Amino acid sequence: MFLAKKTTTTRSKEPAYRVLGLDLSLSPGIAAIEVRDRQPHLIAATSVATSSDDPDAVRSAVVESFVSQFVYAHRPFDVVVREDFKTGRSKRATQTVFNAWVSADRALYQFGYTVAEDPEDVPKLAPTYVKKTVTEILGKANGKAEKDEVAKAVRKWLRLPDDYPFRKGYDDSDALAVCLAYLIRENLIDTEVAA
């Protein structure tokens, strides 16, 4: 009697790695990407618009609730990253961004997460760095890329259709760009395959 022996090819697979990315303002974007076999995969991305007619306390509560709901729905995460920020165009702009940071930090802390701080010896996830890094896939890195160009690059990185819809304002695609820039910087995804 002849018995067929099943041959299996073993491939060393890295465990999935999940990133939560934040593009913070009082109308923030948030996104989750999972890396499997060095390829980024979209888990979820969204944004919320708050109204400047509301007081900052209300807008902050909305941001905190928004981040909490997203984290609750899509956890666990291996790392949480956000776009770096130092100062806005005005004192008021600076206040609103840091207000959003505090609101997001409160939400993250409830689930045991904190935002990963950039080490001193690596490029910060500054807006120009994020844009330049992500748009390189389009053939020309552009640190001053417009939101629609960043969205186009994000679609390409994530192998999404050209007409994949992002929300008005593109804050969700900006949050995805933050995730991707981090993954590229840390060499956690294959950049040759995506291009």
**Does residue 4 or residue 67 have the better pLDDT?**
67
One-letter amino acid of 114 = T
Q: Does position 77 have pLDDT exceeding 60, yes or no? A: yes
Burial track 147-171 (b if 16+ CB lie within 10 A, e otherwise): eebbbbbbbbbbebeeeeebeeebb
User: Any idea which of 12-26, 69-83, 128-142 has the lowest mean pLDDT?
Assistant: 12-26
Token pair, residue 5, equals 């022996």
Using DSSP, how many helices (H) and how many strands (E) does the chain show?
A: 6, 4
Tell me how far apart the alpha carbons of residues 87 and 139 are, in angstroms, rounded to a whole number.
30
Tens digits of residue pLDDT in 107-155: 999 999 999 988 888 889 999 999 999 999 999 999 999 999 999 999 9
> What's the confidence (pLDDT) of residue 12?
56
Distant-in-sequence, close-in-space partners of 25: CB < 8 Å, separation ≥ 6: 96, 97, 100, 171
Mean pLDDT score of the chain: 91
